[in-house]
Each structure stands twice: as structure tokens, then as C-alpha cells.
Amino acid sequence: MATKPPTGDPVQDAPQVAAPQHAAAGLPAVAHSLKMAQQQMGVRRTALTLLRVNQKDGFDCPGCAWPEPEHRHKAEFCENGAKAVAEEATLRRVTPDFFAAHPVADLATRSGYWLGQQGRLTHPMYLAEGAERYEPVSWERAFDIVAEELAALSSPDEAVFYTSGRTSNEAAFLYQLFAREFGTNNLPDCSNMCHESSGSALTETIGIGKGSVSLEDLYMSDLIIVAGQNPGTNHPRMLSALEKAKANGAKIITVNPLPEAGLERFKNPQTPQGMFKGAALTDLFLQIRLGGDQALFRLLNKLILEADDAVDDAFVREHTHGYEEFAEAARAADWEETLAATGLERSEIEEALTLVLASERTVVCWAMGLTQHKHAVPTIREVVNFLLLRGNIGRPGAGVCPVRGHSNVQGDRTMGVFERPAPAFLGALEREFGFAPPREHGFDVVRAIRALRDGEAKVFFAMGGNFVAATPDTDVTETAMRRAALTVHVSTKLNRSHAVTGARALILPTLGRTERDLQGSGEQFVTVEDSMGMVHASRGRLEPASRHLLSEPAIVARLARRVLGAASRTPWEEFEKDYATVRDRIARVVPGFEDFNGRVESGGGFALPHAPRDERRFPTATGKANFTAAPVAYPTVPEGRLLLQTLRSHDQYNTTIYGLDDRYRGIRNGRRVVLVSPHDAKALGLADGGYVDLVSEWSDGVERRAPGFRVVHYPTARGCAAAYFPETNVLVPLDATADTSNTPAAKSVVVRLEQSATD
Ligand SMILES: Nc1nc2c(c(=O)[nH]1)N[C@H]1C(S)=C(S)[C@@H](COP(=O)(O)OP(=O)(O)OC[C@H]3O[C@@H](n4cnc5c(=O)[nH]c(N)nc54)[C@H](O)[C@@H]3O)O[C@H]1N2
Ligand SMILES: Nc1nc2c(c(=O)[nH]1)N[C@H]1C(S)=C(S)[C@@H](COP(=O)(O)OP(=O)(O)OC[C@H]3O[C@@H](n4cnc5c(=O)[nH]c(N)nc54)[C@H](O)[C@@H]3O)O[C@H]1N2
Ligand SMILES: [Mo]
């Protein structure tokens, strides 16, 4: 039977290791994605479903936020998009019988992989206080339970409303509206763990926390720097854009501690020649130490300042602020210190400089390798300095390109899912809906965990995601979650957060992107915003996984009616019936969405305004683009220790595990591996194939331990190690966060590797 989930658990984690690969995609990727899809969906459904991904009349891929090109292929998805779709459109089901057979204590012993493989949730389920099992519950009763617990709070700020980044614009807008009418800005989201550092750095320096380039800009650029990102796995369709840019003459510099296969060579499965030979992508690979990026860009900035005619003086004069102070700091950059911080050779940085100076149009792309460090915000500000110096913002072929993760994480923020909303946004809500939204800032992810831990928050509600597995310091977080009076998860699939609950818990099953959404006024579509600020419609076609599912907008609307009652003048019923009425309100509240319905229905979608990109206008406090001059920082690691980054394998989507392989890195059938450079391994006496415990050392003196990882000798930068999350989240201290953005520093954990007792 194609659609049967695996039975054994713990699933055998027995890593087999081969040499890493040097090219991504090609035939194996196509074969791999079809195999996974057919295991979940069968052959016919696989064909029907995958052809609708990212088409104008189809649904937006629930994978990453990479934009769709103007000329779409018949198959506008990638291997990992196919896996994301299969995971949602699976024919496997988690029914009330399943919950009867598996007490919560049993679910808590299962791996995330096993939980996810059981299939789609079909019924609202309730775990009563003291009960051992979830039991089916009606939607009415479920909303009553939430209302009861919310009413029992001594302040609305004792409730936390989390959002993951798959939620549509319509659902996100209603959700934040409900939270604020209820009375709190406690709206943490996955962005707090993701690109918050980008948002913080960009808002301060260019006035808007979003990227400034389109796909066309990438195609037109002379130089693309890809820093701290692994697109071969996490944004595979980006490789097509890089290939096209290369064909147009662009150079690519890759800055990464790991040689990632996708950036070395791309075998485009959509072209016959690409399938076999493929295109080399990276021209210069800078194998940097973890956290060395700010130092690298600072030195490049010094070298630009010292080169003849390299600074765009007119741009600097007309459009920027803070140049003098920045230039003084940059001139003080030190070669020796930079080489130590980055682990690079002088000649490599000189080679990079040559490419930088030869480029008239430069784009810098980045993702979690830059955002998840203590000094992430100054690092990204330094990237901005680098681009400003040569006028590389607000003209074709140039700009900042933070590559977003979840498919609508950017849209959720645009819709107001933010614990620190702008006063102008709150003002617009107040005018439109006639209530006074709370003005005080709410909890972000890390603060929400502290509040739960300290008994200051008592109700935790999640619109998607897998909070306890995605967040840092697993033991602390799980203990905190268990202190809650009520935990509620609106989910498509079973995950660990359903097994680590408050005194009472609810699972509210919801429609996925791929599914038909029928409401009172007929069939609905939703909208999303991609990583480049393009908004477009998404329409599911599949029969819903169960007739008991409600859509996310319907869940919020019904909950709001039940909780807010007659006090609310918001037409929740109408919103549920017809999402176009939600878009009419968005059009009046959120700048850039004028005539939202008209523009989104006419096909293709539209681009949101972006002042720096469109008119070289910088809506910052100074009215200019701001140079900044933070001191250079980089992690230092005590003798005998390594700096660990926690990252994604090829077969996972955040906490959703598709399989146990990481094909490009040569790892199969296991996830408990730690990649260490052969030099470090030798110095530390760690044989390839030996087993170690990872022990994290942090200033609070607590030793956090993740046992039983197979050592893999791997060509990573010296002094650095890598292992997959969520298994390693137990090692990331809750208080180890980025300055300003408060993002967990998941890419720089100081660890000691101890021989496992069982080795
Ligand atoms: N298939 C799939 N697609 C996904 C996801 C997924 O899990 N699976 N997740 C989605 C989400 S939410 C996100 S945010 C994105 C994440 O996309 P990525 O940011 O690509 O994800 P990571 O696996 O965390 O990889 C981080 C990369 O940065 C490098 N790196 C780490 N530290 C440093 C550093 O200090 N400096 C530099 N220069 N490089 C560094 C790592 O070696 C690695 O190549 O992907 C999205 N797309
Ligand atoms: N150590 C470490 N930790 C990290 C990271 C790291 O690099 N290292 N990366 C961080 C990043 S970048 C991110 S974005 C976070 C991700 O954090 P989250 O977004 O919270 O986690 P996901 O694993 O993406 O959530 C998966 C769950 O979402 C639910 N789901 C899927 N689709 C839908 C839908 O359409 N609607 C609803 N309601 N639910 C749905 C399913 O139940 C599934 O189990 O993790 C962060 N954690
Ligand atoms: Mo993310």
C-alpha cells in the first residue's frame, strides 16, 4: 500500500556517510520528489496536484517564499516543493481512533518524523485536564473552552497568539485583528526566529524591513553575493534565477562555512542540457568561519574606500546619512583581525574585492547564516553599508535580498502579525474598526517562552507551526509550555507541540493550501506575498482531508465571535462567508493594497510599493539611508571547543521531517550526525564514525546535552561544526539571542564534543 506510514518508532537513526556531492537537482531530484509524493498521494493525485503548484490558477507552493517567474514552466516547483505538497496532500489520516490508541504520553515518546508521517488531522480534539488521551470535540465546544480560559485571565496580556508563516494574508489579518480587539499585542511569530534580524537592520538603515530586488534585478546584476544561505535545499527555484543571471554574465560569490552542492553546480531539470551537465554557479567560494561575515564586509568596505573612484559620491551625498562616522570606523578595519575572524586568506579577500570593484550592479542575498547570530543585526547593517557605498540600492540589478523562509511569512508581517506594531498601523485599525488597539508592545517568541515559564502567560494559541520543537532550549520551553492553563494548535499535521501541552489542550484541524475552501458565498481563494513583495492569489482544488476541517479564516472568525461577543462591531460572520470583504478592509488599512480585490483578481498579482527600490526614497528617522558604524564582533571559542551551527537537512521542512537523508551532503538514513572538519577532528581525537554527545556551554553555567551524534569528517570551516535542528535545539540557550532582534543565535552555539557513553 503506497500510503501506509512507517510503523516502527523510534525510527532507526543509523547514519551512512558517503562523500558530499558537488551539484544539485538533475534527474535524481526529479526521481526523489516523485517517489516521496507517490508514497503519500498515489500516482494519479501526484500528477494532478503537482501541475497546479505556482500556476496562475493554482495554489502557492507551501514550501519556501521564493517568487514565481513571469514565464512559468508547466512544472513550476522543485524537489522540495513537491515534498511540501505531498506532506500536505497525503492520503494518510490521523482520526479519533488514532488518538484513542495513542495516549499523549505515548505521543511524547515519538520522533517528529513519526508524528508527521501519520497523516492529516481530521477532527477537532480535546485533552481535558488530567486526561490521558485527546478526545473528539465539537467546534462549538472547542471555542467555548478557549473563551472560558481567556475570560479567566486577569489581563489579555496573559494570552499569547503565535503564528507560523504559512497563514494566508486574509487569515493573518483577521487573527491580529482578533488578538488586538481582545486586547493584546502578544503576537510572536516564526519571523522572530528567522529574518527578524534582517527586518531590524533594514528598517533602521533603509526604512523598510523587506528586500529591494525583483527577479529581474537578479537577472540584470553583475555580481550576486550569496551569504549564509543554502538555496539548493531551501530555495531550489532560486538556482534557476542564479543560472539565468550567470548566463547573462553575472559573477557569484558564495560566503559559507560549508561548500553547499547547490551553489557549486546546478543541473536544471527543466532543460535537457541542464539535466545532465548543468551550470557551474559559484565563481569564488569564501569558506568563512561562523559569524565572520561582519568582519569580512567591514574590511571590504575599507578596501572600497581606499580604492580609486570606487565610492558612488553622488549617491552618498544625496541619499545617505552617517557616512563620516562609518568611514572612520571602516578605515580602522584590520587585516589581521579580519583574517582571524573569517579564517580566510588575504588573497581570497583581494579576489573578492576585484569582483566587487568590477561590478556596476551588485545584489547581496542572505538567509539564516547571517540572521541567527548574536551580532546578526550589525552584520546585516554592514551589508547595507557595503551596498550603499557603491550606490547599489534603488537601481536596476542591485540591492538587498533577504531570502525569506515560510511561503507567507512576509505577508503575515505586512498584515500586522507583529508584537511591536507601528503606531500608524494601529491608528488605521482604530479608524477602520472603531476600537482602541493596545499600544504597549507584546511578547516575541523568546519573551513568550519566558512569560510562560514565569507564569505570566497562561493561554498559548498557535496559528500553525510547531512551537516547542522550533524554539530554543527545548527542556526549558517544554517545561514552560506544560505550565500553561490551555494550549491550542490550529494545525494540518500532528507534531510535538500537540504532545507537550498545558493543563488542557485543543487541536483544531484546518485546511491546507492545496484544498478547496468553500464558504457561504461560494469558493474562496486567499492571497500571499512572496520574498520580493509580490502579492498574488492561491486557490486550492483538492477535496479537503476531512469534512470536519474549518479554514483558518473561519476558525478565527468563529473564535472572535464567541470570545468578543456583542462587544465587537466587526462583521466576523461576513468575513467568514466572503474573504473578498476581508480584502476590502485590508485595502483600507494597509498601504499598498488599494483596490486589492480588483488587482488580485485580474491574474498575475501585483508588487507592493518599496520606497528605496522605486524612488530611492528612504523613510528612516533621518529621511536618508543610514550608514552605521557598530564595532566589529565575531564569536570566540575557548580551547578544545567548537562553534556549532544548527541547520536544515535536505529532507526536512523546519520541524517537519520528510525523510532521513541529506543527499547533497552524502548522508543517508540518519539525522544524528555532527559535521566536523578533519583538522579539528584530528586535534580533538574524534574518529570518523565515532559517537559523541554535544554539550553546550553557556554563561549561565548550565550544561545542555544532546547525546549520541555520529562524527562525520566534513569539509567545513575550521573551528566550526554543524548539526541538524530541531534535534539540537536542546543546546541553544533561551537567553542566547541576537542584540536588537532577539532572534535565537542558532548558528553559534559553543559546544564540547564528549565521547558517548555508549560508543
Ligand atoms: N526544503 C526546505 N526549504 C525551506 C526550509 C526547510 O526547512 N526545508 N525552511 C524555510 C525557512 S523557514 C527558512 S528561514 C529558509 C532557511 O534557509 P537557509 O538559511 O538556507 O537554511 P539553513 O539550513 O539554516 O542554512 C543556513 C546556511 O547558512 C550557512 N551559514 C551558517 N552560519 C553561517 C555564517 O555565520 N556565515 C555564513 N556566511 N554562512 C553561514 C550554512 O552553512 C547554511 O548553508 O528556508 C526555507 N525553505
Ligand atoms: N536550532 C534552530 N532552530 C530554528 C531554526 C534554525 O535554523 N535552527 N530556524 C527557525 C526558523 S527560520 C523558523 S521559520 C522556525 C519555524 O517554526 P514553525 O513555523 O513554528 O515550524 P514548522 O516546522 O514550519 O511548523 C510545522 C507545522 O505547521 C503546521 N502546518 C503546516 N501547514 C499548515 C497550514 O497551512 N496551516 C496551519 N494552521 N498549520 C500548518 C503543521 O502542523 C506542521 O507540523 O524554526 C526556527 N527554529
Ligand atoms: Mo524561517
HEC letters along 253-314: EEECCCCCHHHHEEECCCCHHHHHCCEECCCEEECCCCCCHHHHHHHHHHHHHHCCCCCCHH
Percent of the chain, pLDDT > 70?
Answer: 97
- State the distance from the centre of ligand 3 to the C-alpha of 382, rounded, in angstroms: 22
Cβ(648) – ligand 1 distance below 6 Å: yes
Q: Is the minimum distance from the CB of 269 to ligand 1 under 6 angstroms?
A: no
Question: Does ligand 2 lie within 6 Å of residue 466's CB atom?
Answer: yes
The minimum-distance atom of ligand 2 relative to the CA of 732 is: 1
Whether 256 is in the pocket of ligand 1, judged by its Cβ within 6 Å, is yes
User: Quick one: DSSP state of residue 379?
Assistant: H
Distance CA 666, CA 664 (A): 5
Residue 285 in contact with residue 262, Cβ under 8 Å? no
**pLDDT > 90 in the chain, percent:** 87
Instruction: Give me the residue spans of the domains in the chain.
Output: 16-88, 93-194+408-591, 205-403+622-626, 642-755
Among candidate residues 667, 669, 673, the one with its CA nearest the CA of residue 690: 673
pLDDT of 511 > 50? The answer is yes
- 677: how many CB neighbours lie within 10 A of its CB? 20
Give the pLDDT mean for 622-628. Answer: 98
Residue 137 has pLDDT above 50, yes or no: yes
Does the pLDDT at position 7 exceed 60? no
470 CA distance to ligand 2 middle (Å)? 6
Residue having the nearest C-alpha atom to atom 28 of ligand 2 = 465
What local confidence, expressed as pLDDT, does residue 301 receive? 98
Q: Which residues pair with 657 in a beta bridge?
A: 652
Residue 276, pLDDT > 80, answer no
Residue 499 contacts residue 469 (beta carbons within 8 Å): no
Q: Measured in angstroms, how far is the CA atom of residue 318 from the centroid of ligand 3?
A: 35
The residue whose CB lies within 8 Å of the most ligand 1 atoms, and thus the one to mutate among 163, 230, 386, is 230
Whether residue 198 has its Cβ less than 6 Å from ligand 1: no
Cα separation, 712 vs 753, in Å, equals 13
Smallest CA separation from ligand 2 atom 32, residue: 492
Burial 77-112 (b: 16+ CB within 10 A, else e): bbbbbbbbbbbbbbbbbbbbebbeebebeebeebbb
pLDDT at 1 over 90: no
Nearest atom within ligand 1 for CA of residue 64: 47
- What is each CA distance from 46 to 40, 199, 512, in whole angstroms? 9, 37, 16
CA 134/CA 622 separation, integer angstroms: 55
Place of cell 534603488: 394
Q: Scan for cell 514565464, then name that residue.
A: 71
Q: Are 370 and 227 in contact (CB under 8 A)?
A: yes
Rg of the chain, C-alpha, whole Å: 25
The reported pLDDT for the residue numbered 4 is: 59
Q: How far apart are the first and last CA of the chain?
A: 38
Mean pLDDT confidence for 445-464: 98
Span 720-746, average pLDDT:
98
Ligand nearest to the CA of 744: 2
Whether 257 lines ligand 1, by a CB cut-off of 6 Å, is: yes
Q: What does the pLDDT read at residue 69?
A: 85
Residues in Cβ contact with 101 at an 8 Å cutoff, skipping those fewer than 6 apart: none
Contact, 467 vs 165, CB < 8 A? no
* Mutation probe of ligand 1 site: the residue of 61, 234, 718 with most atoms within 8 A of C-beta: 234
pLDDT above 70: residue 294? yes
Asked whether 169 and 586 are in contact (CB, 8 A), the reply is yes
User: Kind and range of the H or E element at 120?
Assistant: strand 120-121
What is the Å distance from ligand 3's center to 331 Cα?
A: 35
Residue nearest to atom 19 of ligand 1 (CA): 368
Amino acid making up residue 448: A
The atom of ligand 2 lying closest to the CA of 497 is 44
Q: How far is the CA of 234 from the centre of ligand 1 (A)?
A: 7
Query: In this structure, which residue's CA is closest to atom 23 in ligand 2?
Result: 655
69-74 average pLDDT score: 76
Whether residue 10 has a cis bond before it, omega within 30° of 0 = yes
348 lines ligand 1 (CB under 6 A): no
Of the listed ligands, the closest to the CA of 290 is 1
| Ligand 1 neighbour 563 (Cβ under 6 A) | no
Instruction: Give yes or no for residue 15 having a pLDDT over 50.
Output: yes
H/E element, 562 = helix 552-564
Distance CA 417, CA 421 (A): 8
User: Which atom of ligand 1 lies closest to the CA of 233?
Assistant: 1
Does the beta carbon of 656 lie inside 6 Å of ligand 2? yes
Q: Which residues pair with 711 in a beta bridge?
A: 674
Residue 119 pLDDT exceeds 70: yes
Give bridge partners of residue 519 from the DSSP assignment: 522
d(CA 437, CA 419): 12
Angle (CA) 89 13 644, round 5°: 95
Closest C-alpha to 298, from 259, 337, 324: 337
Name the nearest CA neighbour of 334 among 303, 359, 378, 304. Answer: 303
Cα-to-chain-centroid distance, residue 726: 13
Question: What is the reported pLDDT for 752?
Answer: 97
Q: Whose CA is nearest to atom 40 of ligand 2?
A: 464
User: HSE-up of 630 (CA within 13 Å, CB side)?
Assistant: 22
164 CB under 6 A from ligand 2? yes
Q: Kindly report the CA angle at 658 between 495 and 491, in degrees rounded to 5?
A: 30
Nearest protein CA to atom 47 of ligand 1, as residue: 234
Peptide bond into 726 cis (omega under 30): yes
SS3 693: strand
Please state which architecture CATH assigns to domain 205-403+622-626.
3-Layer(aba) Sandwich (3.40)
- What pLDDT does 748 receive? 97
SS3 per residue for 136-192? ECCHHHHHHHHHHHHHCCCCHHHEEEEECCCCCHHHHHHHHHHHHHHCCCCCCEHHH
Distance CA 609, CA 596 (A): 13
| Distance from Cα 737 to the centre of ligand 3, integer Å | 15
Report whether residue 725 contacts ligand 2, using a CB cutoff of 6 Å. Answer: yes
Task: Report how far ligand 1's centroid is from the alpha carbon of 626 (Å).
Answer: 27
Ligand 3 centroid distance, CA of 167 (Å): 13
542 has which bridge partners?
Answer: 515
Tell the CATH topology of 642-755. Barwin-like endoglucanases (2.40.40)
Distance CA 492, CA 89 (A): 10
C-alpha cell recorded at residue 64: 519556501
**Residue 253: how many CB atoms within 10 A of its CB?**
22
pLDDT band at 334 (very low <50, low <70, confident <90, very high): very high
Any residues with CB less than 8 A from the CB of 681 and at least 6 apart, and which? 687, 688, 711, 713
368 within ligand 2 shell (Cβ under 6 A): yes
> Does residue 406's CB lie within 6 angstroms of at least one atom of ligand 1?
yes
The better pLDDT of the pair 213, 42 is held by 213
Taking the CA atoms of residue 468, residue 474, residue 477 and residue 481 in that order, the dihedral angle to the nearest 10 degrees is 50
Which CATH number does 93-194+408-591 carry? 3.40.50.740
Give the pLDDT band of residue 328 (cuts 50, 70, 90).
very high
Ligand closest to Cα of 511 equals 2
Distance between CA atoms of residues 421 and 429, nearest Å:
11
15-29, 348-362, 439-453: which has the minimum mean pLDDT? 15-29
Q: Of 35, 37, 31, which Cα lies nearest the Cα of 52?
A: 37
Average pLDDT over residues 124-132: 98
Q: Is the pLDDT of residue 274 over 80?
A: no
- Helices 293-306 and 376-389 pack at an angle, to 10 degrees, of 20
- pLDDT at 277 exceeding the cut of 80: no
| For the CA of 490, the nearest ligand | 2
Q: Which residues are within 8 A (CB) of 330 and not within 5 positions of it... i.e. 6 or more apart?
A: 298, 301, 302, 305, 385, 629
CA atoms of 173 and 181, how far apart (whole Å): 12
Closest-CA residue to 196 (of 420, 388, 400) = 420
* Cα(65) to centroid(ligand 1), Å: 13
Q: Closest ligand 1 atom to the C-alpha of 194?
A: 14
Measured by CA distance, the residue closest to atom 11 of ligand 2 is 194
pLDDT of amino acid 726? 98
Q: How far is the CA of 79 from the centre of ligand 2 (A)?
A: 19
- pTM as predicted: 0.97
Q: Decide whether any atom of ligand 2 lies within 6 Å of the 194 Cβ.
A: yes
Average pLDDT, the chain: 95
- Alpha-carbon span 453 to 449, nearest angstrom: 6
Q: Residue 435 burial (CB < 10 Å; 0-12/13-18/19+)?
A: middle
Amino acid 2: pLDDT = 40
What are the φ/ψ torsions at residue 336 (nearest 5 degrees)? -60, -45
Q: How far is the CA of 209 from the centre of ligand 3 (A)?
A: 15
Residue from 256, 365, 404, 408 whose mutation best tests the ligand 1 pocket (most atoms within 8 A of CB): 256
Least distant ligand from the CA of 368: 1
- Cα(635) to centroid(ligand 2), Å: 27
Residue among 118, 169, 193, 696 to mutate when testing ligand 2 (max atoms within 8 A of CB): 193
Mean pLDDT on 407-420:
97
- Ligand 2 site, residue 724, Cβ cutoff 6 A: no
Distance 354 CA to ligand 1 centre (A): 27
A 10 A CB-CB count for 341 gives 24
